[in-house]
């Protein structure tokens, strides 16, 4: 008996012979000749050093050793076939791409994503987040949620305003300098020496949660944190009704992007955004 591990290319052939009870039937099913099938079985029996199949007047039958081998190979073949089917199904699942920024994806979208999965379990959502969306972002997404003014995005097409943010000019985002200016607050020039800064708003919020300082809270993104009293209001709010997040529809809409757009709009209405 050979000490080399047996080759595995015969497994499906062996399982089909056992299932059909015939060399010729298995050969026809797998597109092989009967002599080729017989040769493979002889090689297999030589490798194992036992007889696996006995020829009968009508077909073949398994020996005791063949039955033991079939128990293992049938399960392996079944598991592999099931895995292959799942791979094909996953490869065929529709994917809708949503582009947005870090703050919206981390603080608004991710906590609500289970709602979309529940409504549309057949569709996968792919989120691509960046600090700021560059020119041409619509060509890289099925749906986009962008922050800016009505003048920038109000004429893009059918959309829904998602969240109002405190974001006066000149920056599309609200910052401490403009906040203090609105209330005529003068800050001591030396007071900022202990300040810390981050390049994403989600990190700003995490720093506030860690009690590292006071941050600007963009309503719509931190509402749940305020409701849970994980964050507390430290000053009066400012209104900027012309600025906020805008839902940008795809240039070539399809059923999956339309479903995602509708779900985003419904979530905003449901949460009063």
CB 27 within 8 A of CB 17: no
Residues 240, 227 within the same domain: yes
Digit-by-digit pLDDT tens for the chain (273 residues) are 445 655 667 888 888 888 888 888 888 888 888 888 888 888 888 888 889 888 887 788 889 998 998 888 888 888 888 888 777 766 666 778 888 888 888 888 888 888 888 888 878 887 877 776 655 566 666 788 877 666 555 443 335 222 223 344 455 666 777 766 776 666 555 555 566 777 777 777 888 787 777 777 777 778 888 888 888 776 677 777 777 777 887 777 788 888 888 888 888 877 665
CB 17 within 8 A of CB 26: yes
Residues 153, 127: Cα–Cα separation, whole Å: 20
Identify the CA nearest to 186 among candidates 171, 176, 198.
176
Q: Is residue 176 part of a domain?
A: yes
**Residues composing the chain:** 273
Residues 43, 102 within the same domain: no
CB 248 within 8 A of CB 144: yes
ω into residue 170 within 30 of 0, thus cis?
Answer: yes
Residues 32, 119 within the same domain: no
Question: Which pLDDT value is given to residue 64?
Answer: 92
Residues 132, 217 within the same domain: yes
Domain CATH code at residue 66: 1.10.10.10
Run of H or E including 147: strand 143-149
Tell me the two tokens of residue 240: 């900027």
Residues 148, 35 within the same domain: no
Residues 65, 134 within the same domain: no
Q: Is 57 helix (H, G, I), strand (E, B) or coil?
A: coil
pTM of the model: 0.41
Domain residues for the domain of 54 are 11-92
Domain CATH code at residue 243: 3.40.190.290
Residues 143, 83 within the same domain: no
Q: Is residue 4 part of a domain?
A: no
Residues 17, 112 within the same domain: no
Residue 21 has a CB neighbour count (10 Å cut-off) of 15
Residues 201, 231 within the same domain: yes
Residues 124, 62 within the same domain: no
CB 48 within 8 A of CB 6: yes
Residue 43 has a CB neighbour count (10 Å cut-off) of 13
Residues 148, 234 within the same domain: yes
Tell me the two tokens of residue 49: 């050093």
Residues 146, 178 within the same domain: yes
Q: Is residue 66 part of a domain?
A: yes
Q: Give the end of a domain, one of 51, 76, 92.
A: 92
């Amino acid at each position: 008996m050979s000490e080399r591990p047996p080759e595995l290319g015969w497994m499906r052939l062996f399982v089909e012979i056992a299932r059909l009870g015939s060399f010729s039937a298995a050969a026809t099913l797998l597109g092989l000749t009967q002599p080729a099938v017989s040769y493979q079985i002889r090689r297999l029996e030589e490798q194992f050093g036992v007889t696996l199949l006995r020829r009968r007047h009508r077909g073949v039958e398994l020996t005791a050793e063949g039955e033991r081998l079939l128990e293992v190979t049938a399960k392996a073949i079944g598991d592999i076939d099931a895995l292959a089917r799942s791979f094909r199904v996953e490869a065929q699942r529709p994917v809708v791409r949503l582009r947005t920024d870090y703050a919206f994806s981390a603080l608004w979208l991710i906590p609500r994503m289970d709602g979309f999965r529940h409504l549309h379990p057949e569709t996968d959502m792919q989120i691509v987040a960046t600090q700021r969306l560059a020119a041409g972002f619509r060509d890289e997404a099925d749906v986009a949620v962008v922050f800016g003014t009505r003048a920038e995005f109000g004429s893009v097409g059918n959309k829904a305003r998602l969240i109002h943010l405190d974001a006066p000019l000149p920056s599309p985002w609200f910052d401490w300098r403009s906040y203090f200016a609105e209330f005529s607050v003068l800050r001591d020039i030396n007071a900022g020496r202990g300040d810390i800064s981050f390049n994403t708003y989600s990190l700003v919020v995490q720093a506030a949660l860690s009690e590292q300082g006071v941050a600007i809270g963009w309503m719509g993104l931190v509402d749940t944190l305020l409701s849970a009293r994980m964050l507390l209001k430290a000053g009066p709010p400012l209104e900027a009704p012309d600025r906020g997040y805008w839902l940008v529809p795809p240039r070539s809409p399809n059923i999956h992007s339309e479903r995602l757009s509708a779900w985003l709009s419904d979530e905003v209405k449901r949460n009063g955004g």
